[in-house]
Chains A and B, each alone.
Chain A
Amino acid sequence: MPSVMIRRNDEGKLTLYVAKKDLEDVIISMEKSGDEGWGGTVVLADGSRYYFDPFDTEPKLPITVRARRAGGEL
């Protein structure tokens, strides 16, 4: 259960940063966004997946959440 930080980069894209793994990558898809909530399983540009409990609406970014690796590398 690493702590991950989600923020927007200079181009306005969402990125996920795992300090411990020294990984920062663009989020290419997120399970829930818009009206149905914000969060769930996210897929990074390098194919790895993480899961965090969805928020009801998009929170103020950047935000640190507890995430876990979701199985099934693309």
Chain B
Amino acid sequence: MTVMTREETEALIQEVLEVYPEKAKKDRAKHLAPNDQSLEQSKKCITSNKKSLPGVMTIRGCAYAGSKGVVWGPIKDMIHISHGPVGCGQYSRAGRRNYYIGTTGVNTFVTMNFTTDFQEKDIVFGGDKKLDKTIDEIETLFPLNKGITIQSECPIGLIGDDIEAVSKKKNDETGKTVVPVRCEGFRGVSQSLGHHIANDAVRDWALGARDDDNSFETTPYDVAIIGDYNIGGDAWSSRILLEEMGLRVVAQWSGDGSISEIELTPKVKLNLVHCYRSMNYISRHMEEKYNIPWIEYNFFGPTKTVESLRKIASYFDESIQQKCEEVIEKYRPEWDAVIAKYRPRLEGKKVMLYVGGLRPRHVIGSYEDLGMEVVGTGYEFGHNDDYDRTLKEMGDATLLYDDVTGYEFEEFVKKVKPDLIGSGIKEKYIFQKMGVPFRQMHSWDYSGPYHGFDGFAIFAHDMDMTLNNPCWSKLKAPWKVDEAEESVAASA
């Protein structure tokens, strides 16, 4: 199938919407649209960041997931207490592969689950005493922790516990940073509000700790990586490129990050924002309060990486700009070899994406470098500004879907027939059983890193491994395969 025209895309959306009742149809229609490159503002074609319809299968998370899972969780030397019943923390434990260096249980705690394990009596009589006791126990058992965050689960907000008071008390007693985060799951429509709440908690309780302390020696080349969660080592493969071009990376937010890095971030000269959705809030704050400019960058695929490296270098003097060119030249043979090897195997294949955060638009460059085409993309929890940034990246009249439901996504795939789908674990097995190659684009399918030039080689290899896997021709039982198909399969 060739690329769809605008009319075909619109017809497809109408056809898929047909099964909904009138009211649901009207609501969902606003979230599905063919891309229109001529628009500057996405709100003219697509609605986003609205409450999901009751009764549909949404793929979104909650505010707690956004704060504990995404923003705070990867900070390795702090202990993040899942304050409330045990389930929220336990079932999400170590689910996001935020790699880090350290000895788990001694000086780093990312993959561990700490919870106050609420019982009925805590709901009835309040859980502040239990929280107090939990923090004391943590101090006894894990004395090397550098601070504690209290990640509220739904009941905390419902019963009205005063976690701020407990935080202040414990901060006085231990002298360590104690951060209460009001990220109860029922807040907002998706994990996106959790990111915002977590950013505000960083701003109010942690960021300014060293404002009056000038003992940290700065250089004119200090930068911070903001919004890279080090999935499978992503932040490391980004960091080496920045260091090679002469910059000093002071902080990583928050993959493999630490509380002291966070406190030092106000001393940097430039904030490099990878995940705009989850960390633009704190970047804007630092721009206003500390006068630190921020830029968005994209380290997926060589074309975008080169573009971003040059953009970053343009904020510094000529020595950095020159080293930037040297770095690009150094890696050019490497990525040329990757493209030469994999492009012939992947050329012309169609991809559909449905992810969160930054990836629905950022990874498009990676696929295009391999000669693949992204024919549909969508965000779980994106806002208008995300779609604003997506319009120009996507081809005209390609499908955009916001907060797509399980049903819609399946129907789109049946009609558009992409060669590869990139989404999350909940979608993976449905599409694999439908016979469509699939990669998890949240966790890189237990592979990675995908950022930077080193990551691109792994990305290309993974896509090839999935798409050209011989298993896809074996999905039909041998006695059901007709001869025509068999000869095609044999020649492939």
Contact = CB atoms under 8 A, between A and B. Distances in A.
B288 A62 contact: yes
A22 B288 contact: no
A23 B43 CA distance: 10
A23 B384 CA distance: 7
A24 B385 contact: yes
B383 A62 contact: no
Contacts of A5: 284, 288
Contact of B384 (A10, A22, A45, A63): A22
A20 to B, nearest CB: 10
A22 to B, nearest CB: 4
Interface residues of A, number: 15
A21 B291 CA distance: 24
A5 B41 CA distance: 19
A22 B385 contact: yes
B281 A19 contact: yes
Interface in B272-330: 281, 284, 287-288, 291, 295
B41 A46 contact: yes
A53 B295 CA distance: 30
Contacts of A22: 49, 383-385
Contacts of A19: 196, 281
A17 B295 CA distance: 16
Contacts of A46: 41
A19 B385 CA distance: 11
Contacts of A23: 384
Interface size bracket, B side = 10 to 19
Contacts of A60: 291
Interface in B97-123: none
A7 B293 CA distance: 11
Contacts of A45: 40
A70 to B, nearest CB: 20
Contacts of B49: 22
B288 A63 contact: yes
Interface in A1-40: 5, 7, 10, 17, 19, 22-25
A12 to B, nearest CB: 13
A57 interface: no
A63 to B, nearest CB: 7
Contacts of A7: 284, 287-288
Nearest to A64: B288
A17 B284 contact: yes
A24 B385 CA distance: 7
Contacts of B41: 25, 46
B189 to A, nearest CB: 12
Nearest to A23: B384
A25 B40 CA distance: 10
B287 A62 contact: yes
Contacts of B287: 7, 62
A64 to B, nearest CB: 6
A25 B384 CA distance: 11
Contacts of B288: 5, 7, 62-64
B133 to A, nearest CB: 37
A2 B56 CA distance: 33
Contacts of A24: 385
Nearest to B291: A60
Interface of B: 40-41, 49, 196, 281, 284, 287-288, 291, 295, 383-385
24 contacts: A5-B284, A5-B288, A7-B284, A7-B287, A7-B288, A10-B295, A17-B284, A19-B196, A19-B281, A22-B49, A22-B383, A22-B384, A22-B385, A23-B384, A24-B385, A25-B41, A45-B40, A46-B41, A60-B291, A62-B284, A62-B287, A62-B288, A63-B288, A64-B288
Interface of A: 5, 7, 10, 17, 19, 22-25, 45-46, 60, 62-64
Rank and list the top 7 A-B pairs by shortest CB-CB distance, nearest first. A22-B383, A62-B288, A62-B287, A22-B384, A24-B385, A5-B284, A64-B288
